[in-house]
Amino acid sequence: MPRPSDNDCQMTRQILDRIGDKWSLYIIATLNDGSRRFNELKREIEGISQRMLTLSLRGLERDGLVTRTVFPTIPPRVDYALTPLGATLLEPVMALVRWAEKNKQPIAQARERFDEAANAAPEPGEGVVYRRR
Amino acid sequence: MPRPSDNDCQMTRQILDRIGDKWSLYIIATLNDGSRRFNELKREIEGISQRMLTLSLRGLERDGLVTRTVFPTIPPRVDYALTPLGATLLEPVMALVRWAEKNKQPIAQARERFDEAANAAPEPGEGVVYRRR
DNA sequence: CAGGATCCTTTCAGATACTG
DNA sequence: CAGTATCTGAAAGGATCCTG
């Protein structure tokens, strides 16, 4: 894998930043079922604020992953849809999601063990000392 | 893909957050070549601060992706290495990286087009008006 | 309906100083 | 060497109000 200093790596880094952000993946996954209007997305993606939906969609549009189609009617109507490029992103992403789902058990267990050890680690010869306050 | 509201999705979300953060992927990629000491990682991962390296390693250790081995010598020595689980993460991640590298050209072009359009869009009947200040 | 503009709080992350 | 602790500026993100 390229290093952060590599010029070649900047674009990769930026793409990972986008798909790694809090909402873009959900938008892409939702649009994979077909195009949506702004408020449809807002309703289907629970917890997203209007602001973040707008910003995320702008980012995806800027990267050519999503199209934005305005119908100059009253009231206005705006449809968002995946571009062919955006659609191809879903495959490698889903591979990662499958990995996460497949391994969430051992990860959750590792966390429990780690957190227990951190909270209950006795300092040798000093009695019990609780770390992290 | 599960929705953010699904309980089932929380772990997946958290895993994506981890691999999506700024440094974890570089750490994993570096450790894939073999175990490293703290300062070796710091030297090899250009631009990372001591603080962020510590925090990222703690997170990876907590999730069971990385092991931390302390040698109680003077000066102290600490080795970090991938767990078997951590090693399996690299494959789906690399699929994503390959996608990014393969498609960085069209994405960069889409950005140029988008940014130009945003900066030069003339308001109809109003002469040229520059958006974003 | 689909946002743009603002305000305001929370979180992140770099720099620095100190320690076993 | 391998960290921890603290401070601080920057950035992310939510809530709210306003508009064509």
What pLDDT, in 10s, does the model give residues A26-59? 999 999 999 999 999 999 999 999 999 999 999 9
Q: Counting beta carbons within 10 angstroms of the beta carbon of residue B95, is it exposed (0 to 12), middle (13 to 18) or buried (19 or more)?
A: middle
Asked, for residue A74, whether it belongs to a domain, the answer is yes
Count of domains observed in chain B: 1
Which residues are CB-contacts of A112 (< 8 A; sequence separation ≥ 6)?
none
- Listed residue (B70, B78, B75, B83) closest to B28, CA to CA: B83
Enter the pTM of the model.
0.85
Whether A96 and B16 lie within 8 Å, measured CB to CB: yes
Q: What is the pLDDT of residues B36-47, one digit of tens each?
A: 999 999 999 999
Asked, for residue B68, whether it belongs to a domain, the answer is yes
Whether B4 and A26 lie within 8 Å, measured CB to CB: yes
- 3-state DSSP of A85-114: HHHHHHHHHHHHHHHHHHHHHHHHHHHHHH
Q: What is the pLDDT of residues A88-105, one digit of tens each?
A: 999 998 998 899 999 999
Q: Which bases along strand D come within 7 Å of a protein CB atom?
A: 1-6, 12-17, 20
| CATH number for B26 | 1.10.10.10
Asked, for residue A12, whether it belongs to a domain, the answer is yes
Asked, for residue A133, whether it belongs to a domain, the answer is no
* Cα distance between residue B114 and residue B108, in whole Å: 10
Residue B114 has pLDDT above 60, yes or no: yes
Asked, for residue B14, whether it belongs to a domain, the answer is yes
- Range of B32's domain? 6-117
Asked, for residue A129, whether it belongs to a domain, the answer is no
Span B85-99, average pLDDT:
93
Shortest Cα distance, chain B CAs vs residue A83, angstroms: 11
Residue type present at position B39:
N
Asked, for residue A73, whether it belongs to a domain, the answer is yes
A50 sits within 7 Å of strand D by its CB = yes
Asked, for residue A125, whether it belongs to a domain, the answer is no
Can you give the C-alpha Rg of chain B in angstroms? 21
Question: Cα torsion for B65, A104, A10, B118, to the nearest 10°?
Answer: -160
Nucleotide C15's nearest residue (CA vs C1') is B49
A21, A97, A110 member nearest B63 (Cβ): A110
